[in-house]
Amino acid sequence: MPHTDADGLAAGAIALRARGEGAEAAVLLGRGETPFAVEARLPDGPLAILDWGVRPLARPAVLVDHHAPEASLDDALVVSSYGESPEISTGPLMRRLFPDTPAWLAAVGAVGDLGDAGFALPECEGARPKTAIRKLVSLVNAPRRLPDGPVRTALALLVEHDDPRAALADPRVAELEEAKLAWRAEFDRVVRTAPRMIGSSLALLRFASPAQVHPLVATAWARRLAPRIVMAANDGYLAPGVVNFAVRGGSGDLRAVLRAALRDAGGEFAHGHDRATGGSLGVADFERLLAAFA
Ligand SMILES: [Mn+2]
């Protein structure tokens, strides 16, 4: 059960290769789903949960991850690189566990999460050609950002090819290119949203898009609106009446800032990284969150 960004899919591809299985054997969760939700539709038996974070889970599992652990698990084996310096994302961490993995596959995960710094990790040493790896990262990252995007196709390319150039030459890349273009069009549309100041510390960009554009919109504005916290809120992403939002910029632990602003929020709220977090809330709770900054 890999997360569906480039790091998660690279980690999933490493596991599937080690098991001699194809992309069809992976459990790919849909938008708004996590392995930790009580209502999650999960298969029976032990799970390998890759790049999803470490949160309370009441079933046997192996978790491989690099986010700050939010629970210690009794029934699970947890392999975490959290706290290592330099940061090791899940793809390269998986290569530590499966050293026969080609370096370029670990690099797809590392570059997906860490940018070009990922190439410098020992687990990615010798990963070439860098240009092809960067291109592959941007392509396999695109499908999860669209409703019903071709995530499994992206995973298949990583499982089935032994070289990044061969993966890019696969005709199924056209599906990923199409996803990337569709996503880009949505991003270009909503990134022009005018920010609204909430109190002195928060800048809000609020829009509606079916695409997962809000994290990159928040990142795009964070520098320009410094030192404010930037929140990009998407009313069109999950369901009517649910606001999905990404938080970047500001300073310190943004998860702590959110939790202090809305103490009783549960579910998908203030997880992720200290400098990159967000969540989803019903509109009424979201308005309460904003009011705490006003
Ligand atoms: Mn990751």
Please give the mean pLDDT across all residues of the chain: 96
Provide the pLDDT for residue 288. Answer: 96
DSSP secondary structure, 34-55, as one string = -TTSTT----SS-EEEESS---
> What is the CA(290)–ligand 1 centre distance, in A?
28
Matching CATH number, 6-181, of 3.90.1640.30, 1.20.1530.20, 3.40.50.2000, 3.30.450.20:
3.90.1640.30
Provide the pLDDT for residue 42. Answer: 86
The token duo for 25 is 């054997």
> What is the CA(112)–ligand 1 centre distance, in A?
8
Provide the pLDDT for residue 268. Answer: 87
| Residues 192-291, CATH architecture | Roll (3.10)
Pick from 67-76, 124-133, 179-188: least confident: 67-76
Provide the pLDDT for residue 265. Answer: 84
Provide the pLDDT for residue 112. Answer: 97
Ligand 1 ion local residues (Cβ < 5 A):
7, 51, 89-90, 113
> What is the CA(291)–ligand 1 centre distance, in A?
32
Pick from 71-75, 203-207, 240-244, 280-284: least confident: 71-75
> What is the CA(89)–ligand 1 centre distance, in A?
5
Q: What pTM did the predictor assign?
A: 0.90
Provide the pLDDT for residue 4. Answer: 97
Q: Where are the domains of the chain?
A: 6-181, 192-291
In whole angstroms, give the CA distance from residue 60 to residue 51.
Answer: 17
